[in-house]
Amino acid sequence: MLNAMFGLQFAVSAGRCTKGAYMQLVKLSEEIKADFKFDYVLVVDTEGLRALELEGHNTLHHDNELATFVVGLGNMTLINIFGENPAEMQDILQIVVQAFMRMKKVQLSPSCVFVHQNVTDIAAAEKNMDGKRRLQEKLDKMAQLAAKEEGCEAECFSDVIAFDVKTDVKYSAQLWEGSPPMAPPNPGYSESVQELKSIILSKASESDGIKLSHFSSKIQDLWNALLYENFVFSFKNTQEISVYRKLEVQYGNWTWALRSEMLTIENRLHPQIENGKLDKIEVSYLSKEMSKTYEQIKKEITDYFENDADKELLVQWRGRFENKIKDFYEELLTGVKRKLDEVIQQKKACKKLDEKKTDFENKLLQESKELAHKLRGAIKDEEELKMQFDFVWSHWVEELTSDTKPIEDINLEEDQSFCKGSSSAVVFGEIICEKLKVSAVEAVCNQTAVDLAGELKCNFPAFNGNRLNLEKHVLKDLAEREDFNKFITYIRNPREQVEEFIREKVYTYMFVENNNKALKIFQKNADDIQKFISQTLFEATENIITEPGDINMWMKEFSSSLSCKLRLDTISCQNFSDVNNLDFLKDEIEKGLQIISKEMEDLPLNELFASTPSKTTVQKNTVFLFIDLQE
């Protein structure tokens, strides 16, 4: 057709004779040159799309790239279709439109004309009006879907690629009258080609043309955009892209459900390790704890792929996403085991340090005895003896503790004044409450962080979609701020900028926009922890009263019951052996718990998080959100 239209000699034969794209400049004749604002017409001929020869060789990706490049390159694209049905080109055009929407840098103004060859009936245009209307409706619908996916404002197909279904769909007679090779050429074919050429030149007369230098830059920009685009070309049409992105959102929800449950288990095991109740964690144990949630997620995955309205499209990705969930689950188990193993090793290191402390004391005592024996009778002056001993003592201490971290000084006078006038039970109760306060606030903040992360995942626009949705919000935020330094950070280290964006949005959501909701969640978790401590306190006291025991047994019972949720640092009962009224001790602890609860109610939420190690937990959960969306 191009050969007949412009007098060219592109390769023509049965089968796939053209590979890739060929172009040729056609000079305008002097007779018509005055009617146009350019001197040459660039004609590009491409291979046929959906070629059977390429089947099984990534033909989908190849055809989508080629079509996007050629349509974007020219002012007008002739889409040559054998027969009357344009459906085979609809899918490719949808991908082309979505690709153009993603190519923000390249300035494109394409148009297209459908040419149906081998249509012998001259009344085909009238008879196929319904088909053309359906074509227009489908292209418009897909353009709107693509615009929604990419955050553009296109309302119809022609907003991206100029196309009028009434004037830009042409029908051409077949080239031969009869069956070749003996059939003569069909005069009607030449007339159709000439009519089409007139339409092309008429549209071209409205164009200002383009310089070769600008055309070269356009090719480079379009080519670079094609190289950078690694997403849309892998799909058959816009509907597939939309379904895939919904699947990505679902995948994010599934992984978050697994991670949220694992965080809960991790928060429960951590106090047990700190309290010395666990000294080994196996993957099989974590898998058993997670089995119920994991089976539920697998059931949801099966239901989604089998019962969703787009299950015919989803089936192609089922195996891949089932494997991704399995790999994610296994990595989650091994990752948490590794973290808990580090806590266990740290606990063992602290235990060894305590053992070394006893050794140090024994060594110092032995060295002191030997020094006393050595100096006996040699130095009679008391002051000189003390100076000599202090010098040698400081040398020993420095030598023995050279590998240990310094500890804070103990204010003995303050501690003595604190205990003065108080009974042992009151003092012991206050010490326990001080220890519980840190652990309780940390546990409440940990659980609140998990709950709020789930709230954000469901309700915050930037976090309730897939990775592309998050990227849109990050870029929009950068554009609104107009902070060049943050753009530089995003270009050099996008993860850092995204994490900063998430932290800021989490802070705004928790402490500014939804402070009351966050406070209610925090208060609910605080009430749950207080009830748990009170119940544990009551049961431990009742058990020791029923089966008589001393304060050591009570402390052991109380710590053991708490260990499933709270970390309680070791408290020596040696100086409180005279505490025998456990009911009174229980009442004192209850009073202390009420004071702690009142303090948590009165303190602003942001100060609570800032004053505990759980501040890092909030940041950790926001990073988890980012990781989920990356999958």
Task: List, as own/partner pairs, every contact residues 198-207 make where C-beta atoms lie below 8 angstroms and the sequence separation is at least 24, other chains included.
Answer: 199/113, 199/170, 200/5, 200/76, 200/78, 200/113, 201/32, 201/36, 203/75, 203/76, 203/111, 204/36, 204/38, 204/41, 204/75, 204/76, 205/35, 205/36, 207/37, 207/38, 207/75
466 and 437 share one domain: yes
In this prediction, residue 305 has a pLDDT band, given cuts at 50, 70 and 90, of: very high
More confidently predicted of 627 and 452? 452
Which of these three, 188, 216, 236, is where a domain ends?
A: 236
In this prediction, residue 551 has a pLDDT band, given cuts at 50, 70 and 90, of: confident
317 and 375 share one domain: yes
Task: Please determine, for residue 298, whether its predicted confidence score (pLDDT) is greater than 90.
Answer: yes
Q: Quick check: is 52 in a domain?
A: yes
In this prediction, residue 443 has a pLDDT band, given cuts at 50, 70 and 90, of: confident
Q: What is the mean pLDDT of residues 583-590?
A: 84
Task: Please determine, for residue 434, whether its predicted confidence score (pLDDT) is greater than 80.
Answer: yes
Strands 169-171 and 112-117: parallel
Q: Quick check: is 588 in a domain?
A: yes
Rounded to whole angstroms, the Cα distance separating 48 from 19 reads 8
276 and 203 share one domain: no
pLDDT at 613: 46
Task: Please determine, for residue 123, whether its predicted confidence score (pLDDT) is greater than 80.
Answer: no
pLDDT at 52: 61
What pLDDT digit, counting tens, does each position of 168-186 carry? 888 777 777 766 667 777 7
Place of tokens 């830059």: 217
Strands 40-46 and 169-171: unpaired
> How much of the chain exceeds pLDDT 70, in percent?
83
Q: Quick check: is 545 in a domain?
A: yes
What pLDDT digit, counting tens, does each position of 471-495 carry? 888 888 888 888 888 888 888 888 8
Which of these three, 185, 202, 236, is where a domain ends?
A: 236
Q: For residue 477, what are the contacts with CB-CB under 8 A and spacing of at least 6?
A: 501
If DSSP codes are grouped into helix, strand and coil, which group holds residue 80? strand
Q: Which of 173, 191, 79, 185 is nearest to 118 (CA)?
A: 173
- Alpha-carbon distances of 184 from 119, 176, 178, rounded to whole Å: 17, 6, 7
109 and 194 share one domain: yes
Q: Which of 192, 587, 618, 228 is nearest to 428 (CA)?
A: 587
Task: Please determine, for residue 321, whether its predicted confidence score (pLDDT) is greater than 90.
Answer: yes
What pLDDT digit, counting tens, does each position of 374-383 carry? 766 666 667 7
94 and 209 share one domain: yes
Q: What is the mean pLDDT of residues 105-111?
A: 76
Rounded to whole angstroms, the Cα distance separating 19 from 16 reads 7
Rounded to whole angstroms, the Cα distance separating 425 from 49 reads 87
Task: Say how far residue 295 (Cα) sits from the centre of its chain.
Answer: 23
Query: Which CATH number goes with the domain that contains 89?
Result: 3.40.50.300
What pLDDT digit, counting tens, does each position of 515-544 carry? 788 888 888 888 888 888 888 888 888 888
In this prediction, residue 417 has a pLDDT band, given cuts at 50, 70 and 90, of: very low
What pLDDT digit, counting tens, does each position of 208-223 carry? 888 888 888 888 888 8
432 and 386 share one domain: no
Q: Quick check: is 367 in a domain?
A: yes
170 and 251 share one domain: no
Q: Quick check: is 201 in a domain?
A: yes
pLDDT at 288: 92
Q: Is 404 left (phi over 0), alpha (psi -120 to 50) or beta?
A: beta
Contact 451, 525 (CB under 8 A): yes
More confidently predicted of 393 and 475? 475
Task: Please determine, for residue 322, whether its predicted confidence score (pLDDT) is greater than 80.
Answer: yes
570 and 622 share one domain: yes
Number of helices followed by number of strands (H, E) in the chain: 23, 5
Q: Which of 261, 334, 323 is nearest to 292 (CA)?
A: 261
Q: Quick check: is 406 in a domain?
A: no
Q: Quick check: is 418 in a domain?
A: no
Which of these three, 173, 203, 236, is where a domain ends?
A: 236
pLDDT at 291: 92
pLDDT at 119: 66
335 and 374 share one domain: yes
Give the global pTM.
0.67
Task: Please determine, for residue 615, whether its predicted confidence score (pLDDT) is greater than 50.
Answer: no
Retrieve residue 430's tokens. Answer: 């206050």
What pLDDT digit, counting tens, does each position of 238-283 carry? 888 889 888 988 998 898 889 889 988 888 888 888 777 788 888 8
pLDDT at 138: 85
Domain count, the chain: 3
Rounded to whole angstroms, the Cα distance separating 582 from 543 reads 11
Containing H/E element for 363?
A: helix 318-375
pLDDT at 54: 59
Contact 446, 618 (CB under 8 A): no
296 and 443 share one domain: no
Strands 40-46 and 21-27: antiparallel
46 and 157 share one domain: yes
Task: Say how far residue 404 (Cα) sits from the centre of its chain.
Answer: 41
Q: What is the mean pLDDT of residues 88-104?
A: 78
Retrieve residue 417's tokens. Answer: 């004044």
pLDDT at 404: 55
Rounded to whole angstroms, the Cα distance separating 316 from 313 reads 6
Place of tokens 């303050």: 414
> Is the bond preceding 181 in cis, omega lying within 30 degrees of 0?
yes
Q: Which of 175, 169, 162 is nearest to 85 (CA)?
A: 169
Rounded to whole angstroms, the Cα distance separating 150 from 133 reads 26
447 and 334 share one domain: no
pLDDT at 198: 87
What pLDDT digit, counting tens, does each position of 554-577 carry? 888 888 888 778 877 767 676 677
Sequential DSSP letters for 273-293: HHTTS-S---HHHHHHHHHHH
Name the maximum alpha-carbon separation found in the chain: 136
What pLDDT digit, counting tens, does each position of 48-90 carry? 776 666 565 467 788 888 888 888 888 888 888 775 456 667 7
Contact 69, 121 (CB under 8 A): no
| Segments forming the whole domain that contains residue 277 | 241-399
Task: Please determine, for residue 423, whether its predicted confidence score (pLDDT) is greater than 70.
Answer: no
pLDDT at 600: 75
Contact 109, 143 (CB under 8 A): no
Task: Please determine, for residue 418, whether its predicted confidence score (pLDDT) is greater than 80.
Answer: no
In this prediction, residue 419 has a pLDDT band, given cuts at 50, 70 and 90, of: very low
In this prediction, residue 453 has a pLDDT band, given cuts at 50, 70 and 90, of: confident
- Secondary structure E strands in 93-172: 112-117, 169-171
> How much of the chain exceeds pLDDT 90, in percent?
8
Q: Quick check: is 68 in a domain?
A: yes
Q: What is the mean pLDDT of residues 443-462?
A: 80
Contact 480, 300 (CB under 8 A): no
> With b meaning 16 or more CB within 10 Å and e meaning fewer, what string describes 70-79?
bbbbbbbbbb
